[in-house]
Amino acid sequence: MDQIRNLHKRFKHLSHDEETLRKEDFDEISDLTPNPIRSQIIDAFFDKRNFGGNEVGRVQEIGFREFLTVMSHFRPLRQNLTEEGIERIRREKLRFLFNMHDKDSDGTITLDEYRSVVEELLSSSAAIEIETATAIADAAMLEVASVTVGEMAPGQVYEGITFEHFLEVIKALILKLHTLNIVSVTGSSTTTLHEPSTLMLHS
């Protein structure tokens, strides 16, 4: 509960004591400015897919409830989870990531979307030209295609990265980082999000 209170305080602070948060409020976070992919992250907060329902689309402003739901994607795993539970939560977390890259909500990360991701990632270093970013994205896409589809028929077209493919591609990464918690709000801070999301929604 403590964490929720803390988050609520933060929410109020960000929203200037309004009931809802808008995109502009996020822009005011000064620490966020140097982050190359901040727009993606901010968008994720306004994406209906991340609110738990099955809706698709975007909203202009979010309340505390939505804010919490999105943040809950970043909570660490609880220790007492079963294998299945861990697997489910991991999937949810990865789905969140995937949605972040899949801007048009069509279930695939197309080359276009992938390119823009890479470009944003590289945008902090000015010396990298856009072409380079594109080349990297292309190479990465080729890699995805080769990993997931394998030998493609000559006429076959790789439409984009589906969620399944996404899982497969970064499988090794997950294991490597041991990161089930995509985000660990941990460390020195006392404010960790330990509560299950259901709890949060009730609060």
Partner 1 sequence: PGRQSGSLRAPNPGKQTLLWLVEVVKPFSLLLFLFLVFHFSQRFTTVVPESCVLIILGLVLGGIVLIANKKQLYQLDPGLFFLFLLPTIVGDAGYFMPARFCLYGAKMAGVIDDNVEAGLMEFLLFGALISAVDPVAVLAVFEEVHVNEMLFIIVFGESLLNDAVTVVLYKVYISFVEVGPGNVLTADYFKGVASFLIVSIGGTLVGLIFAVILAFITRFTKKVRIIEPLFVFLLVYLAYLTAELFSLSAILSMTFCGIGCNKYVEANISQKSRTTVKYTMKTLASIAETIIFIFLGISAVDKSKWAWDTGLVSCTLIFIFVFRAMGVVGQTWILNKFRLIPLEKIDQVVMSYGGLRGAVAFALVVLLDGEQVKAKDYFVATTIVVVFFTVMFQGLTIKPLVKWLKVPRSTNRKPTINEEIHERAFDHILAAVEDIAGLSGYHHWRDKWEQFDKNYLSKLLMRKSVYCKSELWEAYQKINIRDAISVIDQGGNILTSARLSLPSMASRTSFPEVTNVTNYLRENGSGVCLDLQVIDTNPGAKVEEETETHHFLAGNLYKPRRRYQSPYSRHFMTLGDQERQDREVFQRNMRNRLESFKSTHYKRHKKDRSQKKARSHHRLSHLRLLLTPRVKPTKSQLKGELSEPEKDEDVGITFVARKAAETPKERPKSVPAALEVCQSPSVAPPSPTCGEKNLPWKEGIGALPPCVSVEATKIIPIDLQQAWNQSISSLESLASPPVPQEPQHPRVSALHRLSVPPRPPVPPPPSRAKFQFPAWKDEEEEGTLSQQHREMQPLMPSLRPPPPPPPPSSAQSSGKRRNPCVYLRSLVTTPPSGSMPHSRGPTQL
Give the footprint of partner 1 on residues 36-55 (CB under 8 A): 36-38, 41, 45
Between 53 and 92, how does the x/- string for binding to partner 1 read (CB under 8 A)? ------------------x--x-x--x-------------
Q: Which stretch binds partner 1 (CB under 8 A): 46-54, 55-63, 84-92, 110-118?
A: 110-118
Amino acid at 144: V
**From the list 2, 27, 87, 129, which residue makes contact with partner 1 (rule: CB under 8 A)?**
129
3-state SS string for 115-138: HHHHHHHHCCCCCCCHHHHHHHHH
**From the list 10, 22, 23, 103, which residue makes contact with partner 1 (rule: CB under 8 A)?**
10
Taking every pair of Cα atoms in the chain, the longest distance, rounded to a whole number of angstroms, is 58
Using the CB atoms, write b or e for 102-130: b if 16+ within 10 Å: bbeeeebbbbebbbbbbbbbbeeeeeeee
Which lies closer to partner 1 via its Cβ, residue 56 or residue 149? Answer: 149
